[in-house]
Chain A
Amino acid sequence: MSSTAPNAGGQTKAEEEDFEPKIIVFCCNWCSYAGADLAGVSRLQMPPYFRVIRVMCSARVDPEFVLRAFQKGADGVLVAGCHPADCHYIGGNYRTRRRIALLRILLQQFGFDPGRLKLAWISAGEGEKFQKTIIEFTDVVNELGPSPIGSSD
């Protein structure tokens, strides 16, 4: 998979090339944010289309935050937290996992491709995994194209 995947839809080539996805990344304070930090200080190269929002725990990410991100036109939302059994608050990430699973079903009902919402476990030592996650997710969002919000109705 590459970030210049061939156009599958009705967009013109110019639109395709101009598309700069808006990706919101929620990182938990204890693992994923430190992982993102490590990726940064290690100077790992990543597509620059994501904005990180630090939260204390991935379970702090209220479904409302994700829905609001999509309402405001985000093309993709990534929620990153501690690996199972590693949560700083013992069980926060388990709640996150359930919410995101249900949210993906809900988003699908709303007409979104569920691939626009991703959950990843990234520890403080996994700078490379953060980089890999961002690259792969950006590819997926690129392939999906701009958010369908505002395009119908």
Chain B
Amino acid sequence: MADKIKIAQYWGAGCGGCDVALLDIDAKILDVHALAEVVFWPIGFDGKLADIEAMPDKSITVSFYNGAIRNSENEHVAKMLREKSVVMIAFGSCACFGGTPGLANVTNKEEVFQTVYKDTASTDNPDFITPQTHLKVPEGEVDLPEFYDSVKTLDEVVDVDYFMPGCPPTVNLIALAVDAVAKHVTEGADLPPKGTVIASDKTLCDECDRERVETGRRIEKIYQSYEIKADPKKCLLDQGIICIGPATRAGCGSMCPKANMPCRGCMGPTKAVMDHGGSMLSALSSLLNITDSESKLSEEQIIELMMQVKDPLGTFYAFTLPKSLLRRTVTEKRKRKG
């Protein structure tokens, strides 16, 4: 048997869904098995960091890193795998953009600890004991990773070769990546250019089958998706349900709109866009009904109209807050009077 290539899969701040997604590729998993030996995969089998550390640099062909960078351990393993790997892939929305854990960037370490170790109803911790990064006990010294104030994306801490967005990346996209690696290994084909996002370059609307109003589009009222029963054929946005499709990269096969649910933006923005949320904010504002009487509306009425969008930050940046232009929330030093 010819030498197999080595691959690794690691999870940072993620839910494990990406690890499962890799198994979701059906018979293609046999291709992976024929081609590669998995040397490190914490969710799959026991493996020790020391074993990876002992490997020569660039001895792993591909590392799939899923999950965001939330603590010092995530960062340490990311840096180590980067050294040991020829190709580093940011696998899934959390590694690419911060994902759902990235929404923690509206708060900070202190507040997270306060909630988790004190305020939650089921917590009994009167002395407010929180995890220490270093502790001496009679049996010896123990270390825990340091929890960061902000969630980071993988490419903030290491050089990333390819990005595979999605929550989790869909089977067809994983198959694309596996095929590209297989062709490279067996036939010597070129890998895609560095920085490639393994998905489509168009927006989700482009591959969505729903019928949309082509001229005179307008949204009369914004609904939360639970508030109305959506017509399964018509564009969700036209029905007043906020669908992030116009600002989101295609490639997922529009799975959510097909299941009558709006896109929440897990594939992130397209190449030309710097800020996923800003792009959606722009699209949505323009779609709201503009009539001749708009000139007579007061500024207050406009604010009321736009207040229909509940929680714009959480809606527009559901998966991309750490990758947005502002990255996290800030605190004004002073309050304005009056």
Contacts and interface: CB of A to CB of B under 8 A. Distances in A.
Interface of A: 8-11, 62-64, 66-68, 70-71, 84-85, 91, 94-95, 97-99, 101-103, 105-106, 109-113, 115, 140, 143-146, 148-149, 151-153
A11 B312 CA distance: 32
Nearest to A69: B325
A148 B281 contact: no
B281 A110 contact: no
A105 B312 contact: yes
Interface residues of B, number: 44
Nearest to A10: B333
B281 to A, nearest CB: 5
A63 B274 CA distance: 11
Contacts, number: 129
A76 B220 CA distance: 33
Contacts of A144: 332, 334, 336
B325 A95 contact: no
B186 interface: no
Interface string B145-176: 00001100000000000000000000000000
B275 interface: yes
A144 B334 CA distance: 6
A40 B302 CA distance: 32
Interface of B: 106, 108, 149-150, 273-275, 277-279, 281-282, 284-286, 288, 290, 294-295, 299, 302-303, 305-307, 309, 311-313, 316, 324-337
B306 A64 contact: no
25 contacts: A8-B334, A64-B278, A64-B279, A67-B324, A70-B326, A71-B327, A84-B294, A91-B294, A94-B295, A97-B299, A98-B285, A98-B302, A98-B305, A98-B306, A101-B299, A102-B281, A103-B281, A105-B312, A106-B281, A110-B330, A111-B330, A148-B332, A148-B333, A149-B326, A151-B330
A60 to B, nearest CB: 11
A106 B285 CA distance: 13
